[in-house]
Structures are given as structure tokens and as C-alpha cells.
């Protein structure tokens, strides 16, 4: 490290400082990017050498100033780490292209040279983990006060230019038609976005004038900070309105860009503040960590996708969460109502299983068979929804978002006993729904099979098909659990699709547009059209989720056959119905061990359906609220204590249970 500092001190003024600075940073860089202890030790060693050797710190200072003076800095401040003015899809394609063929770096732009210095792809890890006081000690060891005040003017001029660029972009984004459509008041003359540009011009001109005439006192940035705060308040209102009127990827993109640009502008104003040191208040080092991370991950497709879909995922899961409130029985009356709804769904599934078996007998061409199976499932699930019945396995994807909302509203530290009580309500509701589905599907399927055999003289399925149905339920000698996991993934996707279409209904104003259709009003009449629009508003998501869920279930087996892969689905309610059809086909002469393994298979299929769909839904709901899976771990011991104290409450509501209002 000492030799590298000597090389910097002896560097000729015409030589590029980038190479020596990159070598010095390589010496400071820890062996493991996450080892902040070694990084801290290396930085303190550099600080010690600079404080002891005036020539070394003068050489490093000169190299930094030469780099800043010979390059264009504005792009680094206004572009690096900020979303660009391009559609989401274009941003994804551009990053993929740059990953395959990285762009050339210009010697005249600091943004490109910055990446040559911090050239390790994980530099951002140790840069952000080093304590602020360590960076401050290094900054002070460079003794910037040894330089005349005018030495910083070229940097200040480029910072002021960056302030103007960022202000113009904030004003333009703030008046995007997409934002105005959601919140028309944003276009009023009093909008802080309109005033920000004029104030920035006054601020920049005052600062430039003060550099020329040191007797002049420049304007401070307080008024601009007030306007930025008002802009952030408008963004908060936009997010709230979007929660009520729906969101899109485009709207999300604009809101994220606005927040990023406002944050960067605040940082630059902090660097230009003459009343406080940007190093002492942490602004400089915060910007350094942000820029290093942005450059290291400039080709990351995942970062763009995650940041842009976060708000949309939040909206989708919140719509699912509102449906989830209907799947939580607070008291015995709601619990009994859920049992009745589950019984009704079980009856319908018994007939759906019959149609599925009859369709299989037709041996249709593969594509038509897949479509027939999918429509059977889809129309049956949609009928269940229209009749307000309940499929038990649809609940986890909905209730997971409700649990995530409780964790989020408590700041990631919820009242665990209260949350355990919520989970207990979810579990007992889930329990009675499963019992209702299965207890209806089994006798209904049996009754259908017996009646069919009485009228036709032959069972619904022959013994060969019955043997196949039983083999598919064996948890040890078949892929029943794997296929149940596939169905669990589809259940999770159905929950997301339902939330997406609920969001789409309010974002695109589908009910209002439907109610205004002239030909529909003439056909049904105004009153019926209004009722239809109201129904679509509250049920479009549920109908769409059930439709797609049915298609997923119907086509999976065919896709697996065409690809030569062992793909299929197993669903607890259908599996229990198939058990009845198989029993009638065998005239109940089934070995006891086969019956036991089949029953065990049905139970394990149900558990897998529920566990997979709930885990995926909870993970997405937590991530959409910027929470981690570890935020839910403290719930496990609280649940264990709750179960130990009152195990009955996980299956049957207490008699004195009173329904509570839903958490908003």
C-alpha cells in the first residue's frame, strides 16, 4: 500500500489517475467482499499512512482532483443508480443486452471511469458495511483544508448542473399523464412540481454568482427542501389513491423514478450545503455506497424487475388479502357457514370428478382432451364461486396475504399472541373447509357411482382404471406428493391472478365502462346492467382466478405427456371423490392395506396442497411489503404455546368468540 501511494505521489500530471487509483482500491479491498472487519482494517491502515506522509496524501488528493477535473461528472450524479426514462420492458431488454455485450466506457465521463476503479462486482458489499466514522477518518486524513477554497469550484459547478438536470426530470415525471389520470389535482398551478424548477434556477444562479463574487451570500437550499417535502407528500397521496383505483407497472415505474430522483436531489443539495461538511453528516459516504452498488449491479435484470413489480405485487396481494378476510371464521356462526359452503363445493366436485372420468373415456385428441379437462375444472370452480361455496385449498393463498398485512402494519414486530390467535382462526376455518369438502365429495361420488351402475349396468370406470386411480393415491409408490405440490403452485398462482384482475377492474374502470355500454343497456335494461357491473366489480378476480386455475389443472397432464415429463396434478377433494368411484368399481373388495394407503395419500395430498400454496403466498406477500421470511419465524413458538394452552381452538371456535372488525 505504501508503494502504491508513492506511485501516486510521483505520477506525472499527464498520466491518467484511473489505473493507480484502481490499484490502490484493490489493495484496500478485502479478500471476501462481505468481510467488513478486514475492509475496516485496510482503510484504517491507509488512513494512518496518509496522516503520516504529507506527500502521499497530496498525491492521492491530486489524483482525485485530476480525475474529477478531466471528466464529465453530471452523468454519474443524475443517471447512475436511477431508473431511466424508458418503458419497463425496454429497461429489461437493455440490461440483458448489456450483460451479453457490455457497452464501451468513455474516458471523458466520470460514470464510466468510476466503474473501472470499483471494478469488482461485489465492492458495494464492503463499501456499504464499513462504518461511517472509518470513512470520515480517511476523509480527514486527506486534509482537504490544505487546498484553497476555489479548488472545489469545478466540482461544485458540475453538482449545480446536476441539480438543474434532476429538477427538470422531477418536474417532467411529476406531470406524466399516467400520474395526472390517477390524481388530477397534481396538475394544478400550486403543484410543487411546477414551482421546483423556478426555485432550482434561482438557487443555482445564486450559487454560481457567489463563486465569482465571494462577497455575495448565496441562497440556501431550505426552500427547495420544503418543495421536495411537498413533492413527497404528493407521491404519498398518489400511492394512496392508487391503492383505491388500482396500479399498473407504468404507474409504479413513474412513482419509483420520482422517489429516486427526489432522494438523489436531496443528496446533492446536502453536498452543496456550505454550512455543514458532507463528510461529517454522512451524505458523501451514503452517496458513495449508492453509486458503487448501482455500478456493480448495472447489468442486473433482477433488480429492475424486483423494484418495478414490488408495488404491483403489493396491490395484487392486498386484493387477495381482502378476499382472505372472507376465509377466516371469527365465531361459531361463521365457522358453521364455512362448513355449509364447503359441503356445497364438495357436492359440485363430486359431479366434476364424474365428468372428468367420462371425458377420459372419449380418448379425444390430446389438445382437445386437455381443453375439455380444463373447461370442466374451470366452469366447475366458477360455479362454486357463483354459488358462494368454498374450495378449501383456495384459502391459503388468500389468508397468507392477510397474515402478512398484520406483520407489516406492526412494523415487522407484531403482537405474537394476537397473530397466533389470527392463525388459529385461519387453521380452524381451513380444517372445517377441508372436512366439508371431503365429507361431501366422498358420499356424493359414491352415490353417483351407485346410481350410474344401477341405470347402466356398468360402473363409471372399469377395474383397470380404478386400479390406476388407487395407484395414483399411493404416497410411496407414485408421484402423488410431487403432483400435489404442482397443484399447490397453481393454487398460489390462482390467488395472484385473482388479485391481479381485481386490481385491473378498478384500474381500467371496467365496471363503469360496462355499465355505460349502450347495447348492453338496451339488451338487459339499465337496472340489470348496473347489477351486472356491480357484480363484475366485486367478482371479476374470483372468476378469473378460478377459470385459470381450472385450465392449469386440466392441461398439465397433457403437457407432461407431450414433453415426456412426469407432470400431473393431485387435489385433495378430487382425490377423495376418485376413491369412492374406485371403491364402487371394485365392489368394495379392496385390500385393507390399499385402503389405508389411499386414505393416507388423500391426507398427504391435502397437506401438500395447503403447505405449498400457503408458503408461496406468504413469501410473496412478505416480499411485496419489503419484509423477509425471518419476520414470520417468531410466530412458530407463539403458535406452539397457543396450541399447548388451547388446542381445541385450532379446530372449533370457542362458544364466546365474537367477530372482530377486519384489520385495514
Q: Contact at 8 Å (CB) between 602 and 578?
A: no
Within a domain: 173: no
Identify the pLDDT of residue 631: 64
- Residue 622 scores a pLDDT above 80: no
Within a domain: 6: no
Residue 579 grid coordinates: 376413491
Residue 318 belongs to what domain range? 313-390+399-647
Percent of the chain with pLDDT over 70: 88
CA distance 316 to 308: 14
Summarised one tens digit per residue, pLDDT across range 286-313 is 899 999 998 888 888 777 777 666 655 6
Percent of the chain with pLDDT over 90: 35
Please tell me which of 144-148, 254-258, 612-616 the model is most confident about, judged by mean pLDDT: 254-258
Closest CA to 191 of 180, 178, 202: 180
pLDDT band at 405 (very low <50, low <70, confident <90, very high): low
Burial level of 454, CB count in 10 A (0-12/13-18/19+)?
exposed
Summarised one tens digit per residue, pLDDT across range 338-358 is 889 999 999 999 999 999 999
Give the chain's mean pLDDT: 84
Identify the pLDDT of residue 556: 95
Summarised one tens digit per residue, pLDDT across range 440-495 is 999 999 999 999 999 998 999 999 999 999 999 999 889 999 999 999 899 888 87
CA distance 492 to 383: 20
Within a domain: 338: yes
Q: What is the mean pLDDT of residues 109-114?
A: 89
Within a domain: 640: yes
CA distance 421 to 88: 41
Within a domain: 209: no
Summarised one tens digit per residue, pLDDT across range 561-594 is 999 999 999 999 999 999 999 999 999 888 999 9
Within a domain: 183: no
Q: Contact at 8 Å (CB) between 235 and 255?
A: yes
pLDDT band at 143 (very low <50, low <70, confident <90, very high): confident
CA distance 633 to 621: 15
φ, ψ for residue 104 (rounded to 5)?
-70, 145
Number of domains in the chain: 1
Return the CA Rg of the chain.
32
Within a domain: 593: yes
User: Helices 416-456 and 332-362 sit at what angle, rounded to 10 degrees?
Assistant: 40
Summarised one tens digit per residue, pLDDT across range 492-530 is 888 778 878 887 888 788 888 999 999 999 998 999 999
Listed range (215-219, 402-406, 510-514) with the worst mean pLDDT? 402-406
Cα 32 versus chain centre, distance = 29
Identify the pLDDT of residue 166: 95
Within a domain: 500: yes
- Residue 533 scores a pLDDT above 80: yes
Amino acid at each position: 500500500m505504501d508503494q502504491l501511494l508513492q506511485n501516486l505521489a510521483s505520477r506525472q500530471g499527464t498520466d491518467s489517475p484511473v489505473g493507480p487509483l484502481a490499484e490502490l482500491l484493490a489493495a484496500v479491498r478485502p479478500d471476501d467482499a462481505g468481510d467488513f472487519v478486514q475492509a475496516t482494517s485496510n482503510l484504517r491502515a491507509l488512513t494512518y499512512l496518509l496522516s503520516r506522509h504529507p506527500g502521499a496524501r497530496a498525491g492521492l488528493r491530486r489524483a482525485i482532483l485530476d480525475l474529477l477535473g478531466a471528466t464529465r461528472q453530471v452523468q454519474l450524479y443524475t443517471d447512475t443508480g436511477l431508473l431511466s426514462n424508458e418503458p419497463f420492458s425496454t429497461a429489461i431488454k437493455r440490461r440483458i443486452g448489456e450483460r451479453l455485450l457490455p457497452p464501451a466506457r468513455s474516458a471523458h465521463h466520470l460514470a464510466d471511469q468510476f466503474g473501472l476503479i470499483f471494478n469488482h462486482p461485489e465492492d458495494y458489499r464492503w463499501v456499504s458495511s464499513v462504518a461511517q466514522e472509518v470513512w470520515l477518518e480517511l476523509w480527514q486524513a486527506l486534509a482537504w483544508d490544505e487546498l484553497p477554497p476555489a479548488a472545489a469550484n469545478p466540482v461544485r459547478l458540475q453538482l449545480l448542473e446536476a441539480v438543474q438536470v434532476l429538477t427538470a426530470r422531477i418536474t417532467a415525471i411529476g406531470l406524466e399523464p399516467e400520474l395526472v389520470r390517477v390524481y388530477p389535482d397534481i396538475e394544478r398551478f400550486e403543484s410543487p412540481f411546477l414551482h421546483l424548477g423556478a426555485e432550482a434556477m434561482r438557487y443555482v444562479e445564486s450559487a454560481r454568482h457567489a463563486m465569482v463574487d465571494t462577497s455575495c451570500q448565496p441562497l440556501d437550499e431550505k426552500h427547495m427542501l420544503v418543495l421536495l417535502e411537498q413533492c413527497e407528500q404528493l407521491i404519498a397521496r398518489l400511492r394512496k389513491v392508487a391503492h383505491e383505483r388500482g396500479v399498473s407497472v407504468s404507474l409504479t415505474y413513474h412513482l419509483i423514478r420520482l422517489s429516486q430522483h427526489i432522494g438523489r436531489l436531496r443528496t446533492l443539495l446536502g453536498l452543496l450545503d456550505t454550512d455543514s461538511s458532507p463528510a461529517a453528516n454522512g451524505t458523501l459516504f451514503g452517496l458513495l455506497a449508492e453509486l458503487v452498488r448501482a455500478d456493480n449491479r448495472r447489468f442486473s435484470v433482477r433488480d429492475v424487475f424486483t423494484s418495478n413489480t414490488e408495488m404491483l405485487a403489493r396491490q395484487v396481494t392486498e386484493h387477495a388479502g381482502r378476499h382472505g378476510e372472507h376465509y377466516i371464521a371469527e365465531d361459531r356462526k361463521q365457522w358453521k357457514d364455512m362448513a355449509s359452503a364447503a359441503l356445497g363445493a364438495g357436492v359440485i366436485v363430486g359431479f366434476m370428478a364424474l365428468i372428468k372420468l367420462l371425458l377420459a373415456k372419449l380418448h379425444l385428441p390430446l389438445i382437445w382432451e386437455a381443453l375439455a379437462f380444463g373447461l370442466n375444472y374451470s366452469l366447475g370452480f366458477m360455479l362454486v364461486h357463483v354459488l358462494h361455496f368454498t374450495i378449501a385449498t383456495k384459502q391459503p393463498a388468500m389468508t397468507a396475504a392477510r397474515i402478512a398485512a398484520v406483520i407489516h402494519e406492526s412494523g415487522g414486530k407484531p403482537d405474537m399472541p394476537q397473530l397466533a390467535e389470527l392463525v388459529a382462526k385461519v387453521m380452524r376455518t381451513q380444517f372445517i373447509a377441508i372436512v366439508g369438502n371431503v365429507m361431501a365429495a366422498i358420499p356424493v361420488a359414491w352415490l353417483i357411482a351407485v346410481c350410474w351402475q344401477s341405470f347402466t349396468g356398468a360402473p363409471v370406470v372399469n377395474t383397470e382404471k380404478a386400479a390406476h386411480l388407487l395407484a395414483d393415491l399411493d404416497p410411496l409408490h407414485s408421484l402423488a406428493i410431487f403432483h400435489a405440490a404442482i397443484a399447490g403452485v397453481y393454487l398460489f398462482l390462482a390467488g395472484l391472478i385473482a388479485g391481479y384482475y381485481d386490481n385491473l377492474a378498478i384500474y381500467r374502470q371496467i365496471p363503469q365502462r360496462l355499465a355505460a355500454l349502450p347495447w348492453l343497456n338496451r339488451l338487459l335494461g339499465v337496472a340489470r346492467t348496473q347489477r351486472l357491473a356491480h357484480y363484475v366489480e366485486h367478482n371479476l378476480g374470483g372468476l378469473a382466478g378460478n377459470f385459470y386455475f381450472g385450465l392449469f389443472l386440466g392441461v398439465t397432464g397433457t403437457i407432461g405427456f407431450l414433453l415426456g415429463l412426469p407432470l400431473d396434478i393431485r387435489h385433495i377433494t378430487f382425490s377423495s371423490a376418485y376413491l369412492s368411484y374406485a371403491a364402487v368399481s371394485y365392489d368394495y373388495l379392496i385390500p385393507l392395506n390399499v385402503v389405508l394407503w389411499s386414505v393416507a395419500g388423500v391426507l398427504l395430498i391435502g397437506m401438500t396442497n395447503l403447505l405449498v400454496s400457503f408458503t408461496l403466498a406468504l413469501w410473496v406477500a412478505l416480499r411485496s411489503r419489503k419484509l423477509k421470511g425471518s419476520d414470520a419465524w417468531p410466530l412458530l413458538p407463539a403458535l406452539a404455546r397457543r396450541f399447548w394452552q388451547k388446542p381445541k381452538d385450532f379446530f372449533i371456535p370457542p362458544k364466546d368468540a365474537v367477530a372482530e372488525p377486519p384489520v385495514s
